[in-house]
Amino acid sequence: MTSINAAELVTPETLPPPMGYSHVAKVERATLVFIAGQMARDASGALVGKADFRAQLEQVFMNIKFAVEAVGGRTKDIIKLNYYCVDSVDPSELPTVAMVRDKYVDTQRPPISTFVFVRRLVRADWLIEIEAVAALVAASDRQIG
């Protein structure tokens, strides 16, 4: 598979201006890859960044990167992100989410996304969990030009 703009990411003028995301993803002739919610755990299963929101974000996005690369894609192929953040995270730390995310995604075509606060995640030490969807185009479907 080759990862070349498998999705059309759209922001209709009839919707409010997005703040760092796209409103709509249209996918044709692509393989969709669904990545389970990733937490700040390393390959051995150990928590990375206990009580450190940025460290947990970095590990979560690294895990998403490993997952999408395992099936022949890149993080730039991600078209949808769902964030689940515990409500105990200080709101002043939230701009960190975009700063870390932008190191991984195509900021010219930002993924559609949903961000929700939850009371807690499965483990009390987890501060954020992110699931992703990527769209990969087969080499035979690439358009040259």
103 falls within a domain = yes
Q: What is the structure's pLDDT at 29? A: 84
For residue 69, what are its two tokens?
């690369």
96 falls within a domain = yes
What's the mean pLDDT in 110-139? Answer: 94
Q: Give the DSSP per-residue string, 56-119.
A: HHHHHHHHHHHHHHHTT--GGGEEEEEEEEETTS-GGGTHHHHHHHTTTS-TTSPPEEEEEEES
Q: Which domain holds residue 101?
A: 34-134
Overall domain count for the chain? 1
97 falls within a domain = yes
142 falls within a domain = no
57 falls within a domain = yes
Whether the predicted pLDDT of 142 surpasses 60: no
What's the mean pLDDT in 85-89? Answer: 97
- % pLDDT > 70, the chain: 92
Q: Give the DSSP per-residue string, 106-118.
A: -TTSPPEEEEEEE
119 falls within a domain = yes
pTM, two decimal places: 0.87
| DSSP, res 15 | S
20 falls within a domain = no
Question: Distance between the two ends of the chain, CA-based, in angstroms?
Answer: 19
139 falls within a domain = no
Q: What is the CATH number of the domain that holds 108?
A: 3.30.1330.40
For residue 6, what pLDDT band results from cuts at 50, 70 and 90? confident
What's the mean pLDDT in 125-142? Answer: 86
